[in-house]
Amino acid sequence: MDPRTPLLRLIDLALPPRCPGCGAIVEADHRFCASCWGSLQFLGPPWCAGCHMPFDYDRGEGARCGDCLAHPPPHDGVRAAVRYGEVARKLALKLKYGGRLAAAETMARAMVRLVPDDADLLIPVPLHRWRLWSRGFNQALLIAQGVSKRNGLPVEADLLRRVKATPKLQGLGRNARARAVSGAFALAPGAGARLQGRRVLLVDDVHTSGATGDACARLLKRGGASRVVLICWARVLADETLD
């Protein structure tokens, strides 16, 4: 017998759960249909010891990709739930530009498995106040709150601030991206005492060029964090572009 109340059963009939990717009717909220689920490529080890870029095969403990050998990252790895693709893109756009706030919960559920056991706190990548005013919410904060609800890690949304608006980084080279985000972030007064020795999870929706994450990680480590791991819903790999 269905244990739910008659009211909830009526709501399910009137507003059935929909696939976050395509909108097809599914069994429960935040579940993908078989087609969308099958198209998602979930990421995890084996991966580069530096940036967590997925490897095709296990290269051994401590193996690093060529990019990390040439340009060691300032962070301690990027943990992405899925590879950026059509379904991952649709979900990110629904949240960021469509105001579908429930998408943050869907992302968070997929990301929880990647949280390191020794993490101390979650810090969302901040938005500039103009962007926050126009959008009405910070998608990274919503995702961080969803992760926190599942593992109990505290969310510190006021430690890191975006103090300068930045242009779109798509199409820029490594040096140009670094210049674009230079000085864009700052620590809040007194942040050092709250960061000292902490192992931080920096939360975002999509990891693209890495310039934003790099800038935030450098700043958090200068502020006293012992480790900064980036965690996100989707990661754009080398052969992909944002559209």
- Give the model confidence (pLDDT) of 22-39 as tens digits: 999 998 999 999 999 999
Dihedral of CA 38/90/27/29: which sign?
A: positive
pLDDT band at 181 (very low <50, low <70, confident <90, very high): confident
Residue with tokens 């310039």: 211
Give the residue among 51, 74, 69, 26 at the shortest CA–CA distance from 185: 74
Q: What amino acid occupies position 85?
A: G
Interstrand relation of 199-207 and 227-235 (parallel, antiparallel or unpaired): parallel
Domains annotated on the chain, with CATH: 1-39 (no CATH), 41-235 (3.40.50)
What's the pTM value of the predicted model, to 2 decimals?
0.89
Residues 6+ apart with CB under 8 A from 65: 48, 50, 51, 53, 55
d(CA 219, CA 67): 21
Whether the predicted pLDDT of 108 surpasses 90: yes
| Among 98, 200, 205, CA closest to 146 | 205
Q: Is the pLDDT of residue 7 over 80?
A: no
Going 114 to 120 to 122 to 128, the CA torsion angle's sign is: negative
DSSP 114: G
